[in-house]
Structure 1
Amino acid sequence: MAKIEMYSTAWCPFCVRAKQLLKSKSVAFEDTDVDREPQKRAEMMQRGGGRTVPQIFIDDQPVGGCDELYALERSGELDRLLAQ
């Protein structure tokens, strides 16, 4: 099973949507709240280049944010990535 990591905030509606999609897939993911751990925001930007949340990584590869995650779902690619 793939390792999934997400950088998010509690108040971000895009973060909530991304988490809902991952939960609907019944996959475990590590969620880092960059408001509670501000030093992790710099780590997030260094890893994937994104400044906004959510930033999602599957097996250490940057996926992008909520829109990109849903695009993977629509194309059928998300299931393949999660099954690795």
Structure 2
Amino acid sequence: MAANHNLELYVMTGCPYCIKVERFLKDNGISIPQRNITTDREAEQNLIAVGGKRQVPCLFIDGAPLYESSDIIAWAQKNLL
């Protein structure tokens, strides 16, 4: 199912909402490439350029940003499980 979408998860070190999403993914055996805006300046710039804001977690689905941990988890439950 993930193969049907180009996915990329933007996170930040120490962000509790990012940890919530990461824990859900790990618990359900879902692997999504991650970019940490704390350590990757290019990722941070891309997040702002494409998403319009520096907010994490942000899941890019085929290039479109999805914010809010609960929304990301709901999307993953519906599309990746």
**Which amino acid in structure 2 is aligned with residue 19 of structure 1?**
E
Q: For 1:67 and 1:80, how far apart are their aligned partners in 2?
A: 12
CA deviations over 1:24-81 (Å, ceiling 9, x no partner): 22111111111111221120122233421111123433221313224x2xxxx53332
Which of 56-65 and 22-31 deviates more? 56-65
Q: What TM-score does the superposition give when structure 1 sets the normalisation length?
A: 0.72
Q: For 1:39 and 1:20, how far apart are their aligned partners in 2?
A: 25
Identity of aligned residues (%): 24
Q: For 2:40 and 2:65, how far apart are their aligned partners in 1?
A: 20
Look up the match of 1:55: 58
Q: For 2:65 and 2:80, how far apart are their aligned partners in 1?
A: 13
Which of 29-38 and 45-54 deviates more? 45-54
Q: What TM-score does the superposition give when structure 2 sets the normalisation length?
A: 0.74
Q: For 1:59 and 1:22, how far apart are their aligned partners in 2?
A: 18
Look up the match of 1:81: 79
Unaligned runs of 5+ in 1: none
Unaligned runs of 5+ in 2: none
Q: Is the 8 A contact 2:17 2:57 kept in 1?
A: yes
Q: Once the 2 structures are TM-superposed, how far is the Cα of residue 8 of structure 1 from its aligned partner?
A: 0.9
Aligned-pair RMSD on alpha carbons?
2.0
Look up the match of 1:25: 28
Q: For 1:67 and 1:45, how far apart are their aligned partners in 2?
A: 21
Aligned residue pair count = 78
Look up the match of 1:41: 44
